[in-house]
Structure 1
Amino acid sequence: MKTWIQNGHVLDPLTGTDKVCDVLVSGSRIEKVGTDTEIHDSLKGQEDVQKLDAKGCYVMPGFIDLHVHLRDPGLTYKETLKTGGEAAARGGVTTMCAMPNTKPVIDTKEKVEEVHRRAKEESPVHIIQLGAITVGEEGKELADLKGMAEAGCIAVSEDGKSVMGSAIYREAMKLAAKYGLKVFAHCEEIDLRKDPDTGEDGVMNKCSRSEELGLPGITNSVEDIITARDIFLAKDTGVHLHLCHCSTKGTVDLMRMAKEEGISVTAEVCPHHFTLTADDITEDNGRFKMNPPLRETKDVEALRQGLKEGIMDAISTDHAPHSEEEKNVPMRKAAFGIVGLETSASLTYTELVETGILTPMQMAERMSLAPAKILGFDDKGSVSEGKAADIVVFDPSREYEIDTDTFRSMGKNTPFDGWKVKGDVKYTLVDGKLVYQNEAYNE
């Protein structure tokens, strides 16, 4: 079966292709990018061809989400490999990295292999299972880094917390570099997460709004201190460090310094952190509780500028599904995290492209090519001949209202329910197979 994507505007951040043309997919690869006539001639009368109309749409390389929580194994009342994969396909995500803080924690070769085996059977998109840095994410004993590297986990992370012991973390970084693993860092000085005035565990950013709402706050220094530590440890050990869910101006400043120093470090920003501020929290509602928290306007402006300049490399979601019982409660009782796989592309287009901060090509670069490079993938992140046929057809003109009732994810926990956005995924292809088709175009 071949697939002919017709009349779309191809955006390829690898080759710089930025024009209306057609794409022919054969099997799991892109066979040809060219004019209608060129594709027609190359088919030589073949009739078994699936045609997809991409008129008015961007044809981009499939998005790669470096940071998701799929809750599988052990917490499948929140999400599964199947439902998470379906949510990813809905959002144009063709490859995603699953964090290891499941139950049990993914900290051995065998556990990585089992998730990878199941993912191939159950998920419509590619899933890369990351491994924990320490056994059980307890920060005491190093996990099986060598074995997990052999199982293809690509990176290790203690996401959900930081490895607080600098000595064991440094040893982990040295071994990760030896075995070709990246380190994905959740930067949080856990001993400082309490509100400095009340001593209570923080639930939102420490600022005037937290005081107005009477809620305990988390300062920017909680992130900035560990970000600085991790950057300098990466410099010492030579490992590639990737900073997850960056939220502060301080982190952007540190990233600029690190890149000027030539340190091997990259960083991601989530849509909620470049879209919302703490001032958007108008009530004590658990749907706004996330870690790191929504910050202030100066932080959002710095994150946006960092993405514009490429100081901040990638856009990821930190997709964190929870049950309604865990989120539909006051912030002190709510779990941290929101879902994002199905809203990321639309929020990025609405908040960054429509406002002129990013070009459509830069959107494709931040959401696909840059993550592909971070993971070391040569065959993804591009719509060019010979590359993997992981493709998203994105309609920049479609306006709609985010509705959690339509989510493929089991998680409905988002502050964006009811938001009006512009730009939506029309088709998603993974290895040349159509895994998502937007039903709105059949109405």
Structure 2
Amino acid sequence: MSASTILIRGGHLIDPAAGVESRKDLVLRDGRVSEVTDPGKTSLEKVKNGKSKAGNGTNGGGSNGAETFEVIDATGLTVAPGLIDIHVHLREPGQGHKETIATGTAAAAAGGFTAVAAMPNTVPTNDSPEITRWMQAPERGASVRVFPIGAATRGLKGEVLNDFPALKAAGAVAVTDDGHPILKDGTMREVLIQATRAGLSVVQHAEDTRMTGGCSMNYGPTAFRLGLRGMPPAAEYGLVERDIRLVTELSANGKGRGGHSPHLHVAHTSTAQAVAAVRQARRNGLRVTCEVAPHHFLLTEEHVAAYDTHAKMNPPLRSEADRDAMIQGILDGVVDAIATDHAPHAAFEKEVEFERAPNGITGLETALGLSLKWLHGEWKLPLGRVLSLLSAQPAALLGFRGRGTLTVGSFADVVIFDPKAEWAFRAKDSKSKSKNTPFDGWTMRGKVRWTISEGRVVFQGS
């Protein structure tokens, strides 16, 4: 569908940021939301020839000089702001055998995502304005908007800081050494100061690698039984607590841009103690946020029992108690966003001994379905709050203006899904170049019918 005007008719709009949960019609013009009205009240309804076919985008208008537009009949479906994933690995430049920006964003569109924030552990590392711009160039063939996150230190080595203002000017939305923690207190302190002055958030991969060398799963009885070295939870929460101490100090001293406090965002939180530390930091008035991936609120270390490399990731799958703490953190509002940590790998890379396999799984096409089935269906989190964790709150975390909402004037980023439809995810049918997922064959809830990115239909399901 290529028309610059689209009428979405008859759907149930859920826009958490705007506080809207009711039947509405929407008009999208030239990549923006131009009207949100009660059913049948848009300006396009005045066009007598504007007819639609249920479930299809069809032509409307066009006679007697009237505006030409497309119609999407969303009767019985949920219309919501396009989802936003603030933690993905698109592998380009340098690792196109795993994923490309084109294939990764096609998977994002199939999952209902209209914007993704791409991590910098590429080859070469995204530690320069040139690579940041390269990732956003039209030649990459992205289906949805890509927001690069720049490397905090040169080459992700945790030593020399990059030029944060230059990265931001090129389009970077945050800084991180994701995949590599910033271990030195002095370096992390300076990263927080300089990022704050540049108006950027700091995303930390919290792992004290001095405690995890040679480890391939969570420390505990399952690792002992399997004969594998385990990563202690303290490797995560110890670094989170260290970072919060630095934020506390800098906030008290007014270090940063105009006295603003640093914003620390904890990536892929997986331990109960890390969530507890974030909870306390927030009570103390600090700008500390966190995200949780679906695999960390659904799976435990027991899924490694058959040495399944599709259950190997970093941070690793944790204990049942940690998994339950992730669920509780989501339910009580401590967790700010659901992020996939989409980490594609080629089949030959995963089809090796467990300890030799790379960390990571894909997640863009399963996040909504898993969240709707479990967070909403099983644990009764209101649908609006689930969608907020996947759209409005991620947009607010990284300052994506005009996204995460469908108010008039915002970007025309929309997901339309059937909230009642149950379906089975098949990895072989994935839009991603890689198929490394532990959720192959799982039953999901909420089938994406359309994904619209800046007014363009980038995915249409059956």
- TM-score, normalised to structure 2, is 0.91
Matched, 1:210 2:223: yes
Q: Deviations over 1:203-229 (max 9, x none)?
A: 111122222222221111110001111
> 1:137 Cα shift?
0.7
Mapping of residues 353-372 of structure 1, within 5 Å: 353-372=376-395
1:236: how far off?
A: 2.8
Cross-structure match for 1:172? 191
CA distance in 2, matches of 1:36, 1:18: 13
For 2:414, the equivalent position in structure 1 comes to 391
Residues in 1 aligned to 2:205 and 2:106: alpha-carbon distance in whole angstroms: 26
Match for residue 443 of structure 2?
420
Checking the alignment, whether the CA contact within 8 Å between 2:90 and 2:118 is kept in structure 1 is yes
In the aligned structure 2, how far is the partner of 1:143 from the partner of 1:41?
50
TM-score (norm 1): 0.95
Shift of 1:108: 1.3
Check if 1:294 corresponds to 2:294: no
Cα-to-partner distance string for 1:199-258 (whole Å, 9 max, x where unaligned): xx1111112222222222111111000111112222333211111000011111011101
Alpha-carbon separation, structure 2, partners of 1:41 and 1:403: 39
- 2:25/2:40 contact within 8 Å kept: no
Cα distance in 2 for partners of 1:216, 1:328 equals 20
Shift of 1:330: 2.4
Classify 1:236/1:152 alpha carbon distance in 2 versus 1 (closer, same or farther; 3 Å). Answer: farther
1:156 to 175, 179, 182: 175
Q: Is the 8 A contact 1:11 1:383 kept in 2?
A: no
Equivalent of 1:144 in 163, 166, 173: 163
Measured after TM superposition, the shift of residue 356 of structure 1 is 3.1
2:84 touches 2:395 (CA, 8 Å); kept in 1?
A: yes
In structure 2, the partner of 1:104 is 124
Correspondent of 1:222 among 235, 249, 271 = 235
Structure 1 distance, partners of 2:145, 2:132, is 14
Gaps of 5+ in 2: 49-60, 63-67, 251-260
Number of equivalenced pairs: 432
What is the percent sequence identity of the aligned residues? 37
Pick from 37, 58, 80 the counterpart of residue 100 of structure 2. Answer: 80
Secondary structure class of the residue paired with 1:38: coil
CA distance in 2, matches of 1:343, 1:37: 34
Distance 1:56 1:308 in 2: 27
For residues 117 and 400 of structure 2, what CA distance do their matches in structure 1 show? 13
Asked if 1:348 is matched to 2:361, the reply is no
Residue 337 of structure 1, aligned match among 357, 360, 381: 360
Quote the offset at 1:358 in angstroms.
1.5
Aligned residue number for residue 14 of structure 2: 11
Task: Verify the 8 A CA contact 1:57 1:396 in the aligned structure 2.
Answer: yes
Q: Which moved more, 1:332-341 or 1:418-427?
A: 418-427
1:193 aligns with 2:205: no
SS at structure 2 position matched to 1:350: helix
Q: C-alpha distance in 1, partners of 2:78/2:304?
A: 34
Q: Distance in 2 between matches of 1:269 and 1:358?
A: 15
Name 2:148's counterpart in structure 1: 129
Distance 2:392 2:399 in 1: 10
Residue number in structure 1 paired with 2:36: 33
Structure 2 distance, partners of 1:402, 1:281, is: 20
SS, match of residue 11 in structure 1: strand
1:197 aligned residue:
none
Q: Deviations over 1:105-134 (max 9, x none)?
A: 011122212222247x51010001111111
Give the root-mean-square deviation of aligned CA atoms: 1.4
Aligned to 2:57: none
Query: Please, which of 21, 24, 27 is the counterpart of residue 24 of structure 2?
Result: 21
Amino acid at match of 1:293: P
The answer to whether the 8 A contact 1:86-1:123 is kept is yes
Q: Give the letter for the 1:226 counterpart.
A: L
1:71 CA displacement: 0.6
Task: Specify the code of the residue in structure 1 equivalent to 2:408.
Answer: E
- Counterpart in 1 of 2:337? 314
2:39 & 2:446 partners in 1: Cα distance? Answer: 25
Structure 1 spans left out of the alignment, 5+ residues: 195-200
How many Å separate the matches in 1 of 2:426 and 2:378?
23
How far did 1:36 drift?
3.0
